[in-house]
Amino acid sequence: MRARLAFLMTMLLFSTTMFSGCIGLVASRELMEQYRGVPEREEVVNPYVFSHKFDSSNPEDIIFNPSPHNIDIDSEVKEMRVFFRVQMPYSEVAGVDTGNITSTVRYVHAILWEPGANKNTDTPFWEENATTDRYPPMKRFYPPFEEGVWELEVKAQGYGVDLAGAVSFHDEFEVSLSVYRPCIMFPEDIDIQDTDEEASAKCVPV
């Protein structure tokens, strides 16, 4: 008797599901949307960073020339921010700027190129060159941007010296480009422990 009752209930549920058609799909969709909660407008940030501290005076260690960062820029990008900081101790001695004297051996040169730029003849989108301490205000750029693959490159040369009881200094710098895109995040997807890459993967473009 119990087995027959269970069988009849199962068939009834199955028939209800089959004949409900679109009505069942709509109800299911509405239930899922309610479960997801109210979406929040967020910003996802993709940083591209060069950071280096020179710790030697050996000829093979004083040059920093990494591969460029390739950056995909599309119509969704709403802002780009460029940060540039250079610290070169003793770039001023007794009130005298030594940058002109040491500029060929201590420098940081950063360039941001637009897609398809001719590096021999075109003007960079952004460029900074420092031969002494330098910490200019952050640069902020807004659309329209040329869509495609941009390049952020850095070439630098510096020294790190530690002479006990005499001279001790380390040249260092940081160059970064942050790309901002708006997106929609659902409450159940938000996790404050997410990395930028994980947050970006969960973000739905606006």
* Secondary structure string (H, E, C) spanning 63-122: EECCCCEEEEECCCCCEEEEEEEEECCCCEECCEECHHHHCCCCEEEEEEECCCCCCCCC
Give pTM, 2 decimals: 0.70
The one-digit pLDDT tens for each residue of the chain (206 residues) are 544 544 544 554 455 545 445 455 554 555 455 555 566 777 889 999 999 999 988 888 899 999 999 999 999 999 999 999 999 998 765 355 555 556 678 999 999 999 999 999 999 999 999 999 999 999 999 999 999 999 999 999 999 988 776 778 899 999 999 999 998 766 655 454 555 555 555 566 56
pLDDT on residue 139: 97
Q: Determine contact, residues 44/196, Cβ cutoff 8 Å.
A: yes
Q: Determine contact, residues 17/168, Cβ cutoff 8 Å.
A: no
Task: Give the span between the Cα atoms of 135 and 137, in whole angstroms.
Answer: 7
Tell me how many degrees the CA angle 105-109-111 measures, rounded to the nearest 5: 160
pLDDT on residue 101: 53
pLDDT on residue 53: 96
Angle between helices 2-20 and 22-36 (to 10 degrees): 90
Sequence-distant (6+) residues with CB within 8 A of 112 are 82, 124, 125, 126, 127, 150, 151, 152, 177
Task: Give the span between the Cα atoms of 182 and 199, in whole angstroms.
Answer: 12
pLDDT on residue 37: 56
Cα 62 to chain centroid distance, Å, stands at: 27
